[in-house]
């Protein structure tokens, strides 16, 4: 059996609300109902309690339906699109706690930063994870997704890290949840990678994650989700040798993805979500456990799912395979797919986009989650498609 079938033993991660109480469907909000003929199978925004999940926005002008040229202008347009969604739901930019930025040309990161930074004051910089990808839908050059949370926030800066120097905060703690920016194997100055091979880079990356956790009075036992980006998935076994000893049972859900490039030409980037109250593992009956990660991790009324991947059969077969297994994990947590609030889909071929959407719709005829879809050069285990989700219970 393909050892990467459920997670590839190894992108957005299915965050699912769960508890001993009865499950309830999150507040679902969208500009365009999913039932509209020709509508894409995702919502622009989904609100669950005080948390708002925003679909990935690209450099397209909604007034004209045309792409805005250039990364700087395109980033500004994507941010304006996101701000419109925030405004419509009475959220502010200061409520944004996490962003993911996908660029088709990471060499254009300075131009992206210039436009992105103009939307945030130094005192309210959200966490951020930035990766280079092979392609984006509609020929876009940038895509940005967000999570916003109302409530008091603590901005986490480890000792020696200067506030406002980078265009993101290392961590943000809100409502018992810590969001951590993507980390690489940089030295304590944060300006350059340490010397050393891949294993040394992984070790330093995890040390940097640990510094942020400790600054928030946490450690790896609090981590519920880890997203791991690799520029060469051939390094996956080497990753496990360093990564696994850092974690504790129940191990975090994990999402490994091969990407086109990472900042500073790093071979690895890791971002995590941690909870003040440690969680427990969720495993459906008949699904093999992994010693390296949890299939699902229940923490504070949420379940984070490990990445689910497939390569057998047609694109539609692969989508059904992934979502079928996701359904089982969701059911093991006492929920259903109607409670999904955020999804990320990783394709290795943009030509599979339409077929993916067709099969995806079968599972989300109503109330689909928000979504970001990106094309990456490789996935672990030579898989062709990968999915991660977030779902949440509206009453916490």
Please answer whether residues 292 and 1 qualify as being in contact, where contact means their C-beta atoms are separated by less than 8 angstroms: no
Mind listing the pLDDT tens digit for each residue in 177-217?
A: 999 999 999 998 778 999 999 999 999 999 999 999 999 99
Q: How far is Cα 387 from Cα 396, in angstroms, rounded to an integer?
A: 26
For residues 361-369, give the mean pLDDT. Answer: 91
User: Do the Cβ atoms of 6 and 47 come closer than 8 Å?
Assistant: no
pLDDT reported for residue 87 = 98
Q: Which residues pair with 387 in a beta bridge?
A: 308, 345
The average pLDDT across 17-31 equals 36
Write down the residue that tokens 């696994």 correspond to.
244
Q: Are 375 and 260 in contact (CB under 8 A)?
A: no
Residue 234 burial (CB count, 10 A):
12
Residue whose C-alpha is closest to residue 256's, from 266, 243, 247: 243
Give residue-wise pLDDT tens across range 320-349: 999 999 999 988 988 888 889 899 999 999
Which residue from 389, 393, 379, 388 is spatially nearest to 349, judged by alpha carbons?
Answer: 379
* 15 pLDDT more than 60: no
* Per-residue confidence (pLDDT) for residue 70, from 0 to 100: 97
**What is the share, in percent, of the chain residues with pLDDT greater than 70?**
90
Closest alpha carbon to 92 in 52, 59, 143: 52
Angle at 256 between CA 230 and CA 277, to 5 degrees: 125
Question: Exposed, middle or buried: residue 162 (CB in 10 Å: 0-12, 13-18, 19+)?
Answer: exposed
Delineate the domains of the chain, giving CATH numbers in brackets. Answer: 14-34+41-391 (3.30.1330.40)
Which of 61, 10, 36, 28 has its CA nearest to residue 393? Answer: 28
């Amino acid at each position: 059996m393909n050892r990467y079938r459920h997670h590839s033993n190894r992108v957005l991660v299915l965050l699912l609300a769960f508890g001993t109480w009865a499950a309830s469907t999150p507040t679902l909000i969208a500009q365009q109902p999913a039932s509209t003929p020709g509508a894409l199978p995702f919502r622009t925004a989904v609100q669950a309690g005080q948390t708002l999940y925003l679909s990935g926005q690209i450099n397209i002008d909604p007034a004209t339906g045309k792409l805005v040229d250039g990364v700087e202008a395109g980033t500004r347009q994507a941010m304006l699109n996101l701000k419109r969604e925030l405004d419509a739901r009475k959220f502010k930019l200061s409520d944004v706690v996490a962003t993911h930025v996908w660029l088709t040309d990471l060499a254009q990161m300075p131009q992206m930063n210039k436009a992105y930074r103009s939307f945030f004051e130094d005192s309210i910089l959200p966490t951020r994870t930035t990766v280079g990808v092979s392609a984006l839908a509609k020929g876009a050059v940038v895509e940005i997704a967000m999570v916003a949370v109302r409530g008091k926030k603590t901005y986490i800066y480890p000792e020696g890290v200067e506030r406002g120097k980078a265009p993101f905060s290392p961590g943000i703690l809100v409502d018992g949840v810590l969001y951590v920016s993507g980390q690489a194997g940089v030295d304590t100055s944060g300006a350059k990678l340490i010397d050393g091979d891949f294993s040394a880079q992984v070790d330093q990356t995890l040390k940097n994650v640990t510094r942020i956790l400790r600054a928030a009075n946490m450690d790896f036992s609090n981590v519920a989700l880890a997203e791991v980006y690799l520029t060469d998935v051939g390094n996956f076994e080497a990753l496990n040798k360093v990564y696994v000893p850092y974690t504790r049972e129940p191990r975090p859900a994990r999402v490994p993805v091969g990407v086109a490039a990472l900042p500073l030409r790093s071979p690895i980037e890791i971002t995590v979500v941690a909870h003040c109250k440690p969680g427990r593992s969720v495993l459906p009956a008949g699904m093999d456990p992994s010693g390296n990660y949890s299939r699902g991790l229940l923490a504070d009324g949420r379940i984070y799912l490990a990445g689910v991947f497939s390569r057998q059969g047609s694109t539609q077969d692969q989508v059904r395979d992934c979502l079928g297994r996701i359904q089982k994990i969701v059911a093991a947590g006492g929920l259903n797919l109607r409670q999904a609030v955020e999804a990320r889909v990783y394709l290795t071929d943009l030509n599979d986009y339409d077929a993916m959407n067709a099969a995806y719709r079968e599972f989300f005829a109503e109330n689909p989650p928000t979504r970001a879809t990106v094309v990456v050069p490789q996935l672990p285990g030579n898989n062709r498609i990968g999915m991660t989700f977030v779902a949440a219970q509206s009453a916490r």
